[in-house]
Amino acid sequence: MSEARLDFQRRQRLGMVEAIWGQHKTADQIIAILRRFQDADELALVTRVQPSKAAEVIAEVDGALHHPESACLSFGALPAPLPIGAGVAIVSGGSSDRVVVAEASLALRCHGIPVDEVMDVGVAGLHRLMDALPRLRSARVLIACAGMEGALPTVLAGLVPQPVIAVPVSVGYGVSEGGRAALDGMLASCAPGLMVVNIDNGYGAAMAALRILRGDLEKLLDP
């Protein structure tokens, strides 16, 4: 029997499916938790799961699915995208940010939010970001993931009016390693209204976007 106290009312209370932190749980603990989700007929998301651990879980739990790009597991069928047009654009400074982008993308897809991933448009080649602006302007919320000095969200928030959520990524050399330089740069941003989550926290950025979208969703789905 799992000792975890699961929040099956989160979806009704907050409109969010329950998420499980997998990195510091054993495969047996995750298996026990997912079986409780199975009994409750609830969708689940497990973040930060190593491939070997994921393989153990999948072998024991029917319906569990490994998403290697995001290092996550899901349990239960993901919902079809909601008919709301453009939802969230997730922008990355480089391809090294892929795991964080994929975690945010999967977390949003667990809620039916359409996602557009715009990869490798960091400010080291500013023309790449400028070329992507027409595509980004159609999204309702932007999530910007960047390592190194973390300048991408600041530049982006100075170019578009939508909410921008910044995710510092633990990619870089020297003082940039671990994401602290990117985090400090984003927190010190001169772009007004830029929101910042913790290092590598793609899931947290996705849930912040979901909260922002909540009012729009109610209007779009029940006009």
User: Which three-class secondary structure string do you get for 1-59?
Assistant: CCCCCCCCCHHHHHCCCCEEECCCCCHHHHHHHHHHHHHHCCCEEEECCCHHHHHHHHH
Which pLDDT tens digit goes with each residue over 99-150?
999 999 999 999 999 999 999 999 999 999 999 999 999 999 999 999 999 9
Task: Assess if residue 178 is contained within a domain.
Answer: yes
Residues 151 and 119 in one domain: yes
Residues 71 and 179 in one domain: no
The parent domain of residue 141 ranges over 88-221
Give 131-183 as a DSSP string: HHHHHHTT-SEEEEEE-TT--HHHHHHTT--S-EEEEE-S--SGGGTTSHHHH
Residues 100 and 66 in one domain: no
Banded model confidence at residue 1, pLDDT cuts 50, 70, 90: very low
Which pLDDT tens digit goes with each residue over 12-32?
788 888 899 999 999 999 999
